[in-house]
Chains A and B, each alone.
Chain A
């Protein structure tokens, strides 16, 4: 098994990081991850990322909430069939309010679950291959390479005025 080395190039500006990512696409090294202190459109475009599917969870949550809101109201109304103000037991207009609130609640819960599942959070274990400066003021590009490519990669980051952090080799 060949040892894989991980190097992180740390850059001060997002446009610098985006340019490096674009160039890395044409190089033999493997781009693993990009860490940034802000959500960056430039980086997203350079990585050619697809849209997140969190919305699907939100949508299914919403549909579930809408149905369960109406179902709960109708079920309880039919359990306790007391005529109130001459209104029918199953009164859809007031139940729409319950349905609406349940829709929002369930959509939001779906949204949170979707975000956590998609982003693979929570991840309480140690932060591997991560530099704490990336949550503050650096854009970190993590690249994997074989031993023979390490020097070229370091030179590449230096050429783009990046600071370099080398992580231990992983088998």
Chain B
């Protein structure tokens, strides 16, 4: 672990909050244009109708659902790192916990847009709210789609509160070093935190409960997302392994995104000393583990299709491998299960370019995993004369680019305006004294 003094830790992180260079604002501007493009596509869809997307009958769920599941998945490893590894007292996660939590919050926000986009007539979203109304309609709490609304809303609320509460001591540290308007803003944001013994006593306890509650929540959220599919009867969807399969996949993709975000952050902000390669190596080792679980789930799906002797199920899985979507299938298999095995070699998992390259490939693979599951299952279901084909339309691509731009835009704004590494958690790292929160 780092042997920097407390003051050096503060200085390293507070230095990142200095006014950024023009190149930063140039990247922010490009991402903002991406968001505008996505917004324009959505507005066009609102005026022209949902049919401007590529989805059809039988493939009624396209990239909107793919991206929804992808972003919810990305969110999961943030909670794994901040809550689950906290409970396990894995001190190596301290330098990346804050950025991972932030990734969670922004990824859930991005994911949360897609159900609205997919609604078509988005202004009628209030139909889903349970309140007495003249339509005498109520949401059906037996439906996995309603479970999903509740689960994602809960997840957004919990992860945002967890993120903000965990940041209070650092916001106070920024306040104490700032002057003028900036000091006033951070004085409000830090809620008057002084690090008194009473503050820490209640904070530590509260943080522990946060972690303990976020842990089952994270497992439940992606299980609920998986039931959107598994509780349907379509071949390829209707599977009992979906909940653990989706949770493992979510953590797999999220960890890869952590590497994708952390590696440039580490270089740009000169975090090498507080974020040693060992930390990234540990993330890579975890990716090997989740990759093996995901690979096992792929094999199990095929085994179950073969063992069931259900001809429709067998056909769906045969078609995944040899049909029109075979490039997507093989990208998924290679990127998610084979490429991460390269991390078994120490030389590769300690090399920054390899770590970065592989993390991007896993991200691509996990996006295609959602494509394969969502599209191929309904494109080739029970009745051959109703089989269909799906390719995303330009409008869907535009909205997808907009969503990626939004996520990176928010993350870039965060890293230059709030502490991207938790100063408190670095100070309590193992071997430095102090205690873990909670």
Contacts and interface: CB of A to CB of B under 8 A. Distances in A.
| A in complex with B | yes
A135 B197 contact: no
B191 A124 contact: yes
A112 B159 CA distance: 12
B195 A37 contact: yes
B191 A111 contact: no
B138 A118 contact: no
Interface string B167-201: 00100110111000000000110011111111111
A92 to B, nearest CB: 11
A27 interface: no
Nearest to B178: A132
A123 B136 CA distance: 46
B216 A54 contact: no
B210 A111 contact: yes
Interface stretch (B21-29, B146-154, B375-383): B146-154
Contacts of B437: 39
Nearest to A89: B142
B158 interface: yes
A49 B200 CA distance: 11
Given A52-B205, A111-B209, A136-B10, A121 B199 contact: yes
Nearest to B437: A39
Contacts of B6: 37, 136-137
A144 to B, nearest CB: 14
Contacts of B413: none
A111 B207 CA distance: 9
Contacts of A72: 130, 141
A95 interface: yes
Interface string A15-40: 10000000000000000011111111
Contact of B194 (A35, A49, A108): A35
Contacts of A100: 216, 220
A119 interface: yes
A44 B204 CA distance: 11
A135 B192 CA distance: 12
B191 A137 contact: no
Contacts of B139: 76
A54 B202 CA distance: 6
Give the interface centre of A13, A58, A77, A119 by most chain B CB atoms within 10 Å: A119
Chain B binding site: helix, strand, loop or mixed by DSSP?
Answer: helix
Contacts of A87: 142
A54 to B, nearest CB: 5
B142 A101 contact: no
B203 A119 contact: yes
B66 to A, nearest CB: 24
> What class of interface size applies to chain A in its complex with B?
35 or more
Contacts of B137: 80
Contact of B141 (A34, A37, A39, A73): A73
B202 A49 contact: no
A108 B161 contact: yes
Contact residues of A: prevailing secondary structure: helix
Nearest to B157: A105
A43 B196 CA distance: 11
B434 interface: yes
B202 A118 contact: yes
Interface in A70-126: 72-73, 76-77, 79-80, 84, 87, 91, 94-95, 97-98, 100-102, 104-105, 107-109, 111-112, 114-116, 118-125
A2 interface: no
Contacts of A73: 141
B428 A105 contact: no
A135 B169 CA distance: 7
Contact of B434 (A34, A40, A79, A137): A40
Given A55-B205, A123-B191, A135-B176, A104 B142 contact: no
B299 interface: no
Contacts of A80: 136-138, 140
A134 B150 contact: no
A48 to B, nearest CB: 11
B424 A108 contact: no
Nearest to B139: A76
B155 to A, nearest CB: 9
Of the listed residues A52, A101, A127, the one surrounded by the most CB atoms of chain B closer than 10 A to its CB is A101
B222 interface: no
B130 to A, nearest CB: 5
B189 to A, nearest CB: 10
Interface in B304-326: none
27 contacts: A13-B433, A14-B434, A35-B195, A36-B197, A37-B427, A38-B424, A54-B202, A58-B213, A72-B130, A80-B137, A80-B138, A87-B142, A91-B142, A97-B220, A100-B216, A102-B150, A104-B213, A104-B216, A107-B209, A107-B213, A115-B203, A116-B191, A119-B199, A134-B195, A135-B175, A137-B5, A137-B10
Interface of A: 13-15, 33-44, 47, 49, 51-52, 54-55, 58, 72-73, 76-77, 79-80, 84, 87, 91, 94-95, 97-98, 100-102, 104-105, 107-109, 111-112, 114-116, 118-125, 127, 130, 132-137
Interface of B: 5-7, 10, 130, 132, 136-142, 146-147, 150-151, 153-154, 157-158, 161-162, 165, 169, 172-173, 175-177, 187-188, 191-206, 209-210, 213-214, 216-217, 220, 224, 423-424, 427-428, 433-437
Q: Which 5 A-B pairs have the closest CB atoms?
A: A123-B192, A132-B176, A137-B6, A122-B191, A115-B206
